């Protein structure tokens, strides 16, 4: 293994409080009851539209307005409570010291993805940071992951794809990469069944690359 692609939310950063707050603001503006953190957690990972759709349930007629309000609210307060998970900040630096190329791939909209990474990992030289772009199908479609493989100048089979959801595992498999599930993310461990590797601490990723911290 010679390169690493990271998912963002639930893998590098815990953004759930900011997402929950933005959704609560959007729902409040529509006179709807806000969802708590645990309820929001069940719907994240597939992009903003699927989050709003899942949170609305049978109120599908409100989807477009709720989505617009959520995006505006989240854009206004993108990195308020969002933080890197414990131990994660040291990982990109350790990989850079090994000259291991890294990238980020998220289903969060591309501009937001880049802003979060810049705010929390601005010092780290990721080869590329990609969020969801209108012209490219979102994960688990492998197109963006394969685009990153080209940017990393590595065969897909030599890349670890690190994430916290079933979507990430499916993306890794579809792209021919090695699927690594993180136990510290937003999902229950059962969702990571079938991962090539499960890791409990960011340092464990270094071991998969052939060494310790």
7, 9, 14, 168: which one is catalytic?
Answer: 7
- DSSP letters, the chain, are --EEEE-SBTTTEE-HHHHHHHHHHHHHHTT-PPPPHHHHHTTTTS-HHHHHHHHHTT-GGGHHHHHHHHHHHHHHTSSSS-EEPTTTTHHHHHHHHTT--EEEEEEEEHHHHHHHHHHHHTTS--SEEEEE-TTSPPTTSSHHHHHHHHHHTS-GGGEEEEESSHHHHHHHHHHTPEEEEETTSSS-GGGGTT-SEEESSTHHHHHHTTS--
Q: Which two tokens stand for residue 117?
A: 């990474």
Active site residue 168: no
Residues noted as catalytic: 7
């Amino acid at each position: 293994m010679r390169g690493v692609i990271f998912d963002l939310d639930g893998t590098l950063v815990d953004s759930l409080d900011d997402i929950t707050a933005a959704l609560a603001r959007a729902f409040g503006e529509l006179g709807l009851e806000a969802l708590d953190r645990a309820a929001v957690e069940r719907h994240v990972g597939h992009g903003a539209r699927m989050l709003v759709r899942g949170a609305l349930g049978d109120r599908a007629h409100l989807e477009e307005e709720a989505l617009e309000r959520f995006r505006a609210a989240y854009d206004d307060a993108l990195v308020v409570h969002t933080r890197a998970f414990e131990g994660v900040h040291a990982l990109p630096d350790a990989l850079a010291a090994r000259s291991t190329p890294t990238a980020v791939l998220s289903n969060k909209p591309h501009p937001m993805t880049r802003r979060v990474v810049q705010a929390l990992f601005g010092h780290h030289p990721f080869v590329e940071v990609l969020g969801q772009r209108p012209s490219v199908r979102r994960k688990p479609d492998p197109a963006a992951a394969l685009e990153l493989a080209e940017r990393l100048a590595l065969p897909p089979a030599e890349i670890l794809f690190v994430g916290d959801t079933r979507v990430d595992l499916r993306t890794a498999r579809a792209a021919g990469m090695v699927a690594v599930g993180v136990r510290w993310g937003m999902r229950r461990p059962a969702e990571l069944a079938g991962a090539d590797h499960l890791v409990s601490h960011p340092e464990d990723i270094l071991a998969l690359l052939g060494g310790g911290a």
